[in-house]
Amino acid sequence: MIWNDAIDFFIFTLRYEREMSENTCAAYERDMEAFASFMEGSGIGSPSGATRESIDAFLSAERSRQMASSTRARRLAAVREFFRCLAERGKIGQDPTELVDSPKRDVALPRILSEEEIAAMLDTIAGDAPRDLRDRALLETMYGCGLRVSEACALKIDDVISEGELLRVSGKGSKERVVPIGGGAGRALERYMAAARPFYAKGDLSIEEIFLTRLGRPFTRQGVFKIVLERAEAAGISRTRISPHVLRHCFASHMLQHGADIRAIQEMLGHADIGTTQIYTHVDAARFGEIHRRFHPRA
């Protein structure tokens, strides 16, 4: 299987089996075309001829061209997915990327809460009072959909689509994306919309925003921040470790830990460059490092 055929097979798999968006498929295709061009220039005419050494040579060439480490990391992520796809489907004998090191870069790791801490925080909001229903729906939606605080504040009733299964989000630069509403977020949002939002809207049908204050107005960033701090402290989580954006970080990190594809996470977060999303792979590595240090007898 030559490079062009292999890339076509890979993109077909992404588009029709994994049901990735056209933008994501196009990004993968661009990165793989750059990789294939280098391989062919090195005399390697098919994926089965690629080795760890040739992939390292590709990354070194990218570095010598002063390609940003985030771009190199993104391209390596595409190459990994490509060879994993071919190996899983028997198109090549072995995945040559298994031992390839990712490009190193200095990164400031985002603050992350554990899944248990997130659950404890949400479980402190268990009442049926309008405020409890609202706060639970707000935090479940931010964590369940990976929203920025500004995106949560701007959500409108009409943004809940496909019978409540999807959420239309207006992100940076007014770029829209659609994200799934998970079970926890969906249930909390449904309860709030039915039993609590009418209380806050006070019968005013002209108000479009979903999340409303006690005065019937859309939330500000500061108002959401206060709710997050209050609910975190109720769960014994220090206010120095929490913010609305930490919930977004937790969404991405926990998805990655459970095996989600990095490109899918990129789409759901609304990142223009996968290099931004790659930060969560470092978080995951740091978590495993901590586990190793804690439990390995020779660590």
Average pLDDT over residues 235-264: 90
The residues that bridge with 9 in the sheet, in sequence order, are none
The residues that bridge with 209 in the sheet, in sequence order, are 156
Contact between 121 and 232 under an 8 Å Cβ cutoff? The reply is yes
Average pLDDT over residues 116-139: 95
CA 121 to chain centre: 21
Give 76-96 pLDDT, tens digit per residue: 889 999 999 999 998 998 888
Which residues make Cβ contacts (< 8 Å) with residue 294, sequence separation at least 6? Answer: none
Q: Where in the chain is the domain with CATH 1.10.150?
A: 3-88
Which residues make Cβ contacts (< 8 Å) with residue 215, sequence separation at least 6? Answer: none
pTM of the full structure: 0.60
Best CA proximity match to 251, nearest among 123, 115, 149: 115
The SS3 call for residue 27 is helix
Give 194-204 pLDDT, tens digit per residue: 999 999 999 89
Q: What is the mean pLDDT of the chain?
A: 88
CA distances to 132, 144, 161, 183, 217 from 205, in Å: 22, 27, 19, 27, 12
Contact between 246 and 112 under an 8 Å Cβ cutoff? The reply is yes
Q: Where in the chain is the domain with CATH 1.10.443.10?
A: 115-290
Active site residues: 148, 172, 245, 248, 271, 280
Give 51-80 pLDDT, tens digit per residue: 989 998 998 898 888 877 778 888 888 999
Average pLDDT over residues 7-17: 92
Strands (E), 85-240: 160-161, 166-170, 176-180
Whole-angstrom distance, CA of residue 293 vs CA of residue 99: 22
Q: Under CATH, domain 115-290 is a member of which superfamily?
A: Intergrase catalytic core (1.10.443.10)
Whole-angstrom distance, CA of residue 66 vs CA of residue 89: 35
What tokens appear for 145 in the block?
A: 């959909």
Q: Classify domain 3-88 at the CATH class level.
A: mainly alpha
Best CA proximity match to 143, nearest among 109, 106, 117, 104: 117
- DSSP structure class, residue 272: S
What is the Cβ-side half-sphere exposure of residue 24, based on CA atoms within 13 angstroms? 24
